[in-house]
């Protein structure tokens, strides 16, 4: 655990007692603070009391009179669409609001670091799609190369729950917009922006607010190096804002599909090959086409981001390539579940928005597509360019019929449930085709999470493969 610094003798409130909230409460107490907690869930409050924390209802008059700071769990809205009542009360009482990410960055530099040969470094990854894969891939490459590393944040452990880092260790953090939006301290050594597509728009008051939340990772403290995907206007803008000119190699521009060149530092993937270009010349090229854990152009962008980070950390290209080849992928993200009679089954339940689903469809030439769920804002326009890959769509979800109406020009069948969709897709699929779960929707109409949806898909596929 990382004890929180600078809180000894303070009274600090914690709102939300999930994984990050409870870890923050414990780390604050470890740092000498008196910790008060609240969660709307009765069981969560009871659990906190068992851990020795005082429970306080913060919406009562005067509840913040003795409080120095409020720490908020990432899922709780503080501005849009409406501020949570507790957060609104804290702001009215002029109590500063932060989250566990802010606490982490202000507390990581522990006593004794001046004696280390190589101080630990932090890599923080944000963006709309590919954050988890990029973070996990960086961590895998480092550990495969024998480098000490820990994975935390929106993936793995809570940021304050990690072990105090050792000499030369790298902390890899996946950070969502919910986490970067509120953190008062954001000072990674290397920051990564993968891409941007419409998501969580209600939470951020629109696309501009969503991008602004991501941009804070680069603006609040300023990383020593930034790795920026430039395939969208926002990434191109961000790279321009961070760079002092064409030769500024503190910014590594990455792309999936574009050839990038010039006097700066570029890493791009085209036609299945990753290329590093620096100071006007090609440094290396890596064939990604047979890397089983990174199928498709979207994963090639993730590879470019991970490669750029690891090169910044001093790893040789061939060492990184070895890490690519042994990377097995993450569950629910382009996860190959198996193959039968020439038909491959792929679980991309994490494709919860249109952009992610489009990239998943684009990774395979002939797809039996399982899609649908709780549709997000913005419509399905971003999918139409990939409909040529779809042999047939099998639509699930409570609003399956309405979703199916929007799939113009696509052969489709309303299945509603995962069991029916997988059974029909498997029965109709031919050799060389892929049965792909890439819903383009949130899961909450039928499942508690995208993980549960992916697990159901995997269970139904297992019946087919048995």
- Give the dihedral of Cα atoms 401, 406, 411, 413; nearest 10 deg: -10
Which range, of 358-362, 423-427, 453-457, averages the lowest pLDDT? 358-362
| Spans of all domains in the chain | 11-98, 112-326, 335-461
- CATH class belonging to 11-98: alpha beta
**pTM metric for this prediction:** 0.87
pLDDT of 87 higher than 80: yes
Report how far residue 349's alpha carbon sits from residue 307's, in angstroms, rounded to the nearest whole number: 25
Outline where DSSP puts E strands in 372-411.
Answer: 390-396
335-461 carries CATH number 3.20.20.70: no
pLDDT, tens digit, 9 for 90 and up, residues 176-222: 999 999 999 999 999 999 999 888 889 999 999 999 999 999 998 88
pLDDT of 279 higher than 90: yes
Outline where DSSP puts E strands in 257-377.
Answer: 265-270, 273-278, 281-287, 335-340, 343-347, 367-371
Instruction: Specify binding-site residues.
Output: 127-133
- The mean pLDDT of 87-91, rounded to a whole number, is 97
pLDDT at site 77: 95
Average pLDDT over the chain, rounded to an integer: 95
Outline where DSSP puts E strands in 26-77.
Answer: 34-38, 54-55, 69-72
pLDDT at site 113: 79
pLDDT at site 437: 98
Which range, of 48-52, 251-255, 320-324, 382-386, averages the lowest pLDDT? 382-386
Q: Does an H or E element contain 92, and which? A: helix 85-92
The CA-based angle 414-417-419, given to 5 degrees, is 115
Sign of CA dihedral 377, 380, 381, 385: positive
pLDDT of 13 higher than 80: yes
DSSP state of 103: H
Report how far residue 179's alpha carbon sits from residue 74's, in angstroms, rounded to the nearest whole number: 6
Contact predicate 124/175, CB 8 Å: yes
- Residue tagged 């720490």 (tokens): 71
pLDDT, tens digit, 9 for 90 and up, residues 112-131: 777 888 999 999 999 999 99
Q: In this structure, which CATH number among 3.40.47.10, 1.10.150.530, 3.40.50.300, 3.40.1190.10 belongs to the domain 112-326?
A: 3.40.1190.10
Report how far residue 445's alpha carbon sits from residue 428's, in angstroms, rounded to the nearest whole number: 27
pLDDT of 298 higher than 90: no
**C-alpha distance from residue 112 to each of 90, 106, 120, 164, 169 (Å):** 36, 16, 12, 11, 14
Instruction: Specify binding-site residues for ATP.
Output: 127-133
- The mean pLDDT of 350-370, rounded to a whole number, is 93
DSSP state of 374: B
More confident residue, 336 or 171: 171
32 falls in which pLDDT band (50, 70, 90)?
A: very high
Give the whole-number percent of the chain exceeding pLDDT 70: 100
11 falls in which pLDDT band (50, 70, 90)?
A: very high
């Amino acid at each position: 655990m990382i004890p929180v610094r600078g809180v000894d003798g303070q009274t600090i409130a914690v709102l939300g007692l999930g994984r990050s909230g409870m870890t923050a409460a414990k780390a604050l107490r470890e740092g000498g603070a008196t910790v008060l907690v609240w969660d709307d869930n009765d069981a969560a409050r009871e659990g906190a009391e068992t851990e020795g924390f005082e429970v306080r209802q913060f919406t009562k008059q005067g509840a913040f009179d003795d409080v120095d700071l409020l720490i908020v769990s990432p899922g709780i809205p503080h501005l849009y669409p409406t501020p949570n009542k507790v957060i609104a009360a804290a702001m009215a009482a002029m109590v500063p609001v932060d989250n566990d990410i802010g606490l982490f960055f202000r507390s990581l530099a522990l006593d004794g670091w001046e004696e280390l040969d190589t101080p630990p470094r932090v890599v923080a990854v944000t963006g709309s799609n590919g954050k988890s894969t990029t973070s996990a891939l960086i961590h895998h490459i480092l550990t495969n190369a024998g480098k000490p590393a820990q994975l935390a944040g929106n993936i793995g452990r809570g940021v304050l729950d990690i072990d105090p880092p050792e000499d030369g260790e790298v902390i890899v953090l996946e950070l969502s917009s919910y986490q970067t939006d509120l953190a008062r301290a954001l000072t990674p050594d290397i920051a990564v922006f993968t891409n941007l597509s419409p998501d969580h728009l209600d939470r951020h008051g629109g696309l501009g607010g969503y991008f602004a939340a991501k941009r804070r990772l680069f603006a609040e403290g300023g990383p020593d190096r930034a790795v920026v995907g430039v395939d969208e206007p926002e990434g191109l803008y961000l790279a321009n804002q961070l760079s002092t000119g064409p030769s500024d190699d503190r910014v590594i521009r990455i792309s999936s599909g574009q050839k990038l060149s010039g006097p700066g530092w570029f890493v791009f993937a085209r036609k299945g090959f990753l290329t590093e270009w620096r100071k006007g010349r090609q440094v290396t090229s890596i064939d990604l086409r047979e890397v089983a854990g990174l199928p498709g152009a979207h994963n090639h962008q993730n590879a470019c981001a991970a490669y750029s980070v690891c090169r910044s950390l001093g790893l040789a290209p061939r060492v990184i390539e070895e890490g690519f080849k042994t990377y097995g992928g993450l569950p629910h993200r382009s996860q190959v579940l198996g193959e039968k009679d020439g038909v491959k089954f792929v679980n991309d339940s994490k494709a919860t928005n249109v952009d992610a689903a489009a990239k998943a469809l684009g990774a395979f030439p002939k797809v039996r597509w399982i899609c649908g769920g709780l549709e997000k804002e913005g419509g399905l326009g971003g999918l139409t360019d990939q409909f040529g890959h779809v042999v047939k769509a099998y639509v699930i979800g409570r609003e399956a019929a309405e979703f199916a109406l929007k799939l113009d020009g696509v052969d489709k069948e309303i299945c509603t449930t995962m069991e029916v969709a997988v059974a029909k897709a498997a029965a109709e699929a031919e050799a060389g085709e892929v049965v792909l779960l890439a819903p383009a929707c949130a899961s909450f109409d039928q499942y508690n999470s995208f993980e549960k949806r992916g697990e159901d898909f995997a269970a139904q596929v297992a019946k087919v493969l048995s």
